[in-house]
Each structure stands twice: as C-alpha cells, then as structure tokens.
A and B are shown apart, each in its own frame.
Chain A
Amino acid sequence: MSAKRNYGALYAAPQGLWLLAFFAAPLAIIVAYSFMRKGLYGGVTGELSLDAYRALANPSLLAVAARTLAVSLAATALTLLIALPCGYHIARSRNQALRLFLVIVPFWTNFLVRIYAWIAILGNEGFLNDFLRALGVVADPVQFLYNQWAVVLVLVYMYLPYAILPLFSTIDKFDFTLLEAARDLGATKPQAMGRVLLPNIQGGVVTAVLFTFIPIFGAYAVPLLVGGKDSYMLGNIIADQVTKTRNWPLASAISMTVTALTGVAALAFLYRSRKPAPAPLEGQGGAS
C-alpha cells in the first residue's frame, strides 16, 4: 500500500449508517421492548419487566415452539436428503447448464405463486381431489390441506433449490478421481460416498442446511396459507401478537428467542464444520 489517503471509512459510511439506522436500531428497539410491559392499547409502557419472557413459558406457546423445531428439522432433513443426490447428479452431468436451469426456474418463480400452486392442487376443490373423484377412488373431497403434512411438503418444495444450488457448486469442485481411488483401494460404493465425498463437501452441506433451516424456522407464509390453526409456527405467533393482539413485548420476546435459537444453531453448525474433516486429503478439495 502506498501512502495514499485512506478513503475506506468514507466509502463504507453510507452503508454502515443505513444498516445502523434501519437494521441495528430496529433490532435494538425489539430487544428493549421485550423487557417492557404491554401498553393498554398496544405499544409499551416505559416500565421494565420480565413479563414477556415469563409469558414464553406458557404451555401453548412452548408447544408451538416444539412444533416449529420439529417441523423445521424434518423439513431440513428431507430437503437435504433429496438435494444431495440432485447436486451430485448436476455436478457429474455433461449438460450442467440445462440441469441448473431446470432447478432455477421454480426457484425464481414467485414465492406466493408457488404456495398458491399447492393450494390449487391439494385444496378441497383442487386438482388432486378432482382427479381422485374422477377415478372413483373417493366420493367426498379429502382434506389434504391445513395440516402438518401439507406444511412440511410445501416447505420442502419451497426450499429444495436453496439446498441444491450450494451442494452442486461444492460437489462440482470435488475431484471425482478420489472416489475411484477409494473404490480401487477396496471401499464399497456407500463407503466411498460417506467417507471420501461427504467429508470433502462439508462446506456445501453446512451452507445448504443454513439456507434451509433458518428461513424454515422463521416461516410465516407457508403455515399461514397451507397449515391449519394446529400447524401454526412461531412466525405466525409473532405476527399475530404484532398485528392482532398488539402485544409488542411478547412479540419482541418471541422474536428474540427465534433470533437467539437461529443464531446458536448457525454458530454451532459453523463451528462443527470447522473441525478437520475425518479424512483430510492432501492438496485436494477440503471443506471449502
């Protein structure tokens, strides 16, 4: 570096100030509100209190939290199981551009259009019920929507591309001759996959998990539109507290909890993936 003037702070200031004002400050307000008492007509009173956090221990809220976690874990696991072979297939294919194109089109199709499509299929007067009735399998429409299974199905549908893309780009960098080497040295196919490929694409797996788990854990629109009252997730509770009940301290406290849990999950996952891969391979790949 030559002794030229340092313009760094000047360049970074507009973005820094913007995020300070419209990201950090709102978040700070949420933190503060979570320690205050609910005002009579919404808003907050200035008094400090732990009421909102005490209200978190409410059994029905805990049940929603447990459900949110279960649904998120199930949907993330399913997504990852489907996405891994997909990423592998695209990486090994000779026509990667076409295969990526086919993944990205649904990915770039509007979020609500994709949810709506499932309502049109699974609804009481939807495509599937129509089809089943035409076949004579059922007489009355089957209620496919507004339950837990519909929520998981649609969540997997929504977030599959988020997992496939990072997995593809990591697997694409993997040196496939290593798999052959493992096979030549006597590893079975699953052994070669599990002990040579997987440790070397850990970075992609971590990214895929974070890209699916975090948005699913905070899901709002999917459970609202395809779930029933009994498949509400924490995101729905937050929204209801803000817009309907107008209990901002409670909404803030739940938001803080969701943020903290997401943060802990992300950090734990990132930390775990930092540990050296079980089978470090010289000069190649590495968990990138």
Chain B
Amino acid sequence: MKARRKLSFSALVYWSTIAFLFLPLAVLLVYSFNSSKSGTWTGFSLVWYEKLVFGSPELWKAFANSLVVALGSASAATLLGTLAAVGTNRFRFRGRAAVQALSFVPMILPEIVVGVSLLVFFAGVGLKLGMATVLIAHTTFNLPFVFLLVSARLEEFDSSIVEAARDLGANERQTLFRVIVPMALPGVASGFLTAVTLSLEDFVITFFVSGPGSTTLPLYIYSMIRFGVSPVINALSAVMVAGTIALVYPLRNFLKTFAAQS
C-alpha cells in the first residue's frame, strides 16, 4: 500500500502549508485583542476595535473610496468586457484577433509597468490624479479578466441555440437579452466579482495613479504600516479576514469552478 504513504506525504505538506498560510492571520487576530500597543500580551481588550470603529474617520473615508472604485470599475469593466466577449465569440470580423490579443497582454504585464505607464500617460494628457484616474486604471486592469471569464462561459454552450433564436425570428436585441445574456450570466457574475476583488486588493497600480482625496483602503493601510506597527491595523485585519471568510464560505461549492478559471 505504497499509494497510501504518498498520500500521507502530500497530506503532510498540505496541512503544513495551511498552517503556514493561516499562522500570520491568527497572530493578527490574537494581537488585535491585546490591551497594549507592544508585542507583549498584557490582557484582553477591545480598545483597538473601538478605535477602529469610532476613532478612524480617515480609514472609513478610504474604505468608502475603495468601495466606489471597486463597484464603479467592476461595472464598467463588466459592461465593456461582456460586450467584447459576445462580439468575439459570435462573429468573425477585422480586428478580432487584435481585440483578443489586447485583452490578454495586460494580464501578463507586471503591475508596476502598468502603473508607471498610466502615471506617465495621465501626466502627458494633463489629467489630474484623483478618483477619475483611479477608476480608469482599475477598469483597465479589470477588463481582461471579465473578458476572459465571459468568453470561457460563452465557449461552453451550444452556439446553435443562438442561431435557432435568430431563425425563429428574434432580432439582435432580443437574441442578446433573452438568449445570450441569460446563458452568459454565470460568467458575467464571476467576472464582476473577480473585478470587485481585484480592485479592492490593488495596491501597486493605485499607488501610482491616485492623488489627493482618492486614497483607497490598501493605500491607507500602506501609510499606516510606514508609520510602524499599529494595533488598529490588527483589528482592521481581523475584521477583513472575517469578512473574507464570510464571503468565501457560502461560495465553497463553487470554489472548484473558480480554481479552474483562475
């Protein structure tokens, strides 16, 4: 039964890896309840949570900015990306290959290059850095992911259904809204959610294209880290990890599809 032994080796690596992945998060969680500012445990306290909720207006402003940017850029990217996916999936046309290539390249480019090129571009066209530039940048890096996820979904289903709809007299608009969009919906939804997540996560690109008043949550956390370890970040991190768990847990049965697409 050597197969069992190999299995236990991979199980050992897997569980050690999980421990490695969760250890830092657990440390943050524990220390978020520490009453003192230092690394030494001095007793249980909720003081940092209190400070997080009531004493950090700038943090909440950054959080609001993050939400606006995430929802705005994800919506724009979902609209444009879905349309392009439908177009390239159903039709052959001049420039189709170019659209597909242009949608692929941003994903393999290092973030720093995207960020720097956008900064230089905004400076060149004279656009002042702020919410608008952050929204443009986020929509740009979200687009390829939406395009890819919706395209993958559209490729899965039988295109003869679309032709059948047309043959039965549906016009383009009816075909789009009654046949294609409902079928593509899971892809559109996962594209939108991926875009929201990527946008909430992004630090590097935002770092270059944000200006006064457009500080997002990751940028705010960054500035706090630069000032040294702050227990308020511990509390914030604990809340964010809990939020992630609350978000991922209901999706656990779809995670396999997610992994396959990532």
- Count of B interface residues, CB-CB < 8 Å: 103
Q: In the complex, are the beta carbons of B120 and A26 less than 8 A apart?
A: yes
Q: In the complex, are the beta carbons of B256 and A96 less than 8 A apart?
A: yes
A232 to B25, CA, bound (A): 26
Q: Mark A213-243, 1 if CB is under 8 A from B, else 0.
A: 0110110110001000000000100110011
Asked if B22 is at the interface of the complex by the 8 Å CB criterion, the answer is yes
Asked if B49 is at the interface of the complex by the 8 Å CB criterion, the answer is no
Q: In the complex, are the beta carbons of B116 and A30 less than 8 A apart?
A: yes
Q: In the complex, are the beta carbons of B110 and A218 less than 8 A apart?
A: yes
Of residues 170 through 195 on chain A, the ones whose CB sits less than 8 Å from some CB of chain B are 172, 179-180, 183, 189, 193
A220 to B91, CA, bound (A): 40
Interface-central residue, A24, A96, A106, A165, by most chain B CB under 10 Å: A106
Q: In the complex, are the beta carbons of B121 and A5 less than 8 A apart?
A: no
Residues of B near A129 (CB, < 8 A) are: 39
A11-B87, A89-B11 given; A30·B117 CB < 8 A: yes
A4 to B114, CA, bound (A): 39
Q: In the complex, are the beta carbons of A29 and B117 less than 8 A apart?
A: yes
Residues of A near B93 (CB, < 8 A) are: 6, 8-9, 12
Q: In the complex, are the beta carbons of B120 and A214 less than 8 A apart?
A: no
Q: Which of B52-60, B183-191, B244-252 contacts A (4 or more CB under 8 A)?
A: B244-252
A102-B18, A120-B27, A183-B3 given; A16·B113 CB < 8 A: no
Asked if A85 is at the interface of the complex by the 8 Å CB criterion, the answer is yes
A29 to B92, CA, bound (A): 31
Q: In the complex, are the beta carbons of A117 and B84 less than 8 A apart?
A: no
Residues of A near B44 (CB, < 8 A) are: none
Residues of A near B217 (CB, < 8 A) are: 110
Candidates A102, A189, A220; contact of B2 at CB < 8 Å: A189
Q: In the complex, are the beta carbons of A110 and B39 less than 8 A apart?
A: no
- Look across to chain B and name the residue whose beta carbon is closest to the beta carbon of A248: B120
Candidates A8, A123, A214; contact of B110 at CB < 8 Å: A214
- Look across to chain A and name the residue whose beta carbon is closest to the beta carbon of B231: A120
Of residues 92 through 113 on chain A, the ones whose CB sits less than 8 Å from some CB of chain B are 92, 96-106, 108-113
Q: In the complex, are the beta carbons of B80 and A113 less than 8 A apart?
A: no
Q: In the complex, are the beta carbons of A16 and B99 less than 8 A apart?
A: yes
Q: In the complex, are the beta carbons of A109 and B121 less than 8 A apart?
A: no
Q: In the complex, are the beta carbons of A262 and B247 less than 8 A apart?
A: no
Of residues 1 through 54 on chain A, the ones whose CB sits less than 8 Å from some CB of chain B are 1-2, 4-12, 14-16, 18-20, 22-27, 29-30, 33, 43
Asked if A166 is at the interface of the complex by the 8 Å CB criterion, the answer is yes
Q: In the complex, are the beta carbons of B111 and A218 less than 8 A apart?
A: yes
Asked if A64 is at the interface of the complex by the 8 Å CB criterion, the answer is no
Asked if B225 is at the interface of the complex by the 8 Å CB criterion, the answer is yes
Ordered by A's residue number, 16 sampled pairs between the chains whose C-beta atoms are within 8 Å are A9-B91, A11-B86, A11-B88, A19-B102, A29-B117, A30-B116, A97-B252, A110-B221, A112-B225, A113-B240, A117-B28, A120-B229, A169-B260, A179-B3, A189-B2, A238-B113
B residues in contact (CB < 8 Å) with A: 2-3, 5-7, 9-11, 13-14, 17-18, 20-25, 27-28, 31, 38-40, 79-81, 83-84, 86-88, 90-96, 98-99, 102-103, 105-106, 108-114, 116-121, 123-124, 136-137, 139-140, 143, 147, 163, 166-167, 172, 197, 200-204, 207-208, 217-218, 221-222, 225, 229, 233-234, 236-237, 240-241, 244-245, 247-249, 252-253, 255-256, 258-260, 262
Closest 9 CB pairs of A and B: A218-B110, A11-B87, A8-B91, A117-B24, A26-B121, A15-B84, A8-B93, A26-B117, A85-B13
5 more A-B residue pairs beyond the given contacts A30-B120, A179-B3, with a C-beta to C-beta distance below 8 A: A8-B91, A19-B106, A104-B255, A109-B240, A166-B262
